[in-house]
Amino acid sequence: MKTERLLTGSLPAVVSHCIAPQRLKIELININRPIRALSMLTPVLFVHGLGGQRRGTWTADGDDGQDVFWPEQFLAQDLPKARILIFGYDSKFLSASESVSQNRMENYAADLCSSLASARSSADTSKRPILLVAHSLGGLVCAQALVIGDRSSAGTDTHSISSCVRGMVFFGTPFRGSKAAGLSERILRIVGMFWSNTSAANVKDLTEDSETLRILRSAFPELLSKRNESPQKIHVTFFYEQLKTNRVMIVDEESATIPGQGEKISIRANHLDMCKFETREDDVYKTVVRQLEKMIAKIMNGKPSSENAPKYQIRNDRCAIGSIGDVGSQVNNFQIPQ
């Protein structure tokens, strides 16, 4: 159980619940809006990580004991120009009774593109720009989808989705892998000797300097750089955790960011809680909304691709924002009044 929680990013405390398989599905959140209105909005798709859940990854425990699913309860109202969707896929790697999917990262990426393309086609939004919000492995799945799509023939689902992505928000995505994954892979192999329903494939992909990540770590920044010089610029924000999870730092700053790309934002939370917000007043939640608002504004206004990320940092109890910019560049700090 402890090993599972180290890697899942959003695994519930009860193991019997967390190992239940999850079917592939795109779910529309702001369903109370008419289809005609939805076709004019910017799709924002949430993608969970390894062992995560379509809703559970983004759900916090409220002070009143009620679950707070912030994409629906907060964001759908605070981001009126967005069409909020969530993607679920079977990413479990351990089960007591069910067969465990042996899919790899590239399989999940293709499934994401296929499901999203179908959802967009049915709502007549196939040409709308897309924003992706992802946690942990989900971020790697999204990055893999863009790389595959960039190399695919025009007319395929992967190419169609990849070419429409204009913004990406990553929460604790291990572009350089995680030391915790190496430990858990070894434990899973031992467990697999006695418990047949396991899959160490995706855990292995998350180990430091794995072959899969080495290739993606080269191809994804190249794609971002290429797109930054075109009308299809992709605006990127990287969130990374400040706190350890069960005394282990799952994804550190170096692994969670890509040098020379986008903005980086630190969150005073662990890997499991970094994408769960109890109230609208949470500093990180407000920052997420601002980042998405900026991305949508840039898409709608057609800002030139040469526009740089802001040269500042914002610091408070929960987060710090800063432009990565050129390696070694110095940035002046200032405090936000409390």
Of the pLDDT bands very low, low, confident and very high (cuts 50, 70, 90), residue 51 is: confident
> Are residues 291 and 321 in contact, defined by beta-carbon separation less than 8 angstroms?
no
Q: Does domain 2-325 have CATH number 3.40.50.1820?
A: yes
The confidence score (pLDDT) of residue 186 equals 37
pLDDT band, residue 306 (cuts 50/70/90):
very low
C-alpha dist (Å) from residue 57 to 11, 84, 264, 313, 320: 7, 15, 21, 28, 22
pLDDT at residue 214 tops 80: yes
Return the SS3 of 254: helix
The proportion of the chain whose per-residue pLDDT surpasses 70, expressed as a percent, equals: 65
pLDDT at res. 1: 36
Which one has a higher pLDDT value, 244 or 189?
Answer: 244
The per-residue pLDDT for 287 is: 96
Residue 38: band (very low, low, confident or very high) from pLDDT cuts 50, 70, 90:
low
Average pLDDT, the chain: 74
pLDDT at residue 208 in the model: 61
pLDDT of 329 > 60? The answer is: no
Mean pLDDT of 89-117: 70
**What average pLDDT does range 271-291 have in this prediction?**
95
302-322: average pLDDT: 40
So what's the pLDDT on residue 182?
Answer: 41
pLDDT for the residue numbered 156: 93
Min mean pLDDT across 102-111, 277-286, 324-333 is at 324-333
Higher pLDDT, 119 or 318: 119
Q: Give per-residue pLDDT as tens, 115-146.
A: 999 888 766 677 889 999 999 989 999 999 99
In this prediction, residues 68-88 reach a mean pLDDT of: 93
d(CA 268, CA 274): 8
Spatial distance between the Cα atoms of 212 and 176, rounded to a whole number of angstroms: 10
Question: How far apart are the C-alpha atoms of 140 and 48, rounded to whole Å?
Answer: 10
78's tokens:
């605070």
Q: How many Cα atoms are found within 13 Å in the side-chain-facing hemisphere of 118? A: 10
Helices of type H across the chain: 2-8, 15-18, 35-38, 70, 76-78, 105-122, 137-150, 157-164, 179-192, 201-205, 211-228, 253-256, 283-301
Parallel, antiparallel, or unpaired for β 25-28 and 82-88?
antiparallel
Classify 107 in phi/psi space as left (phi over 0), alpha (psi -120 to 50) or beta.
alpha
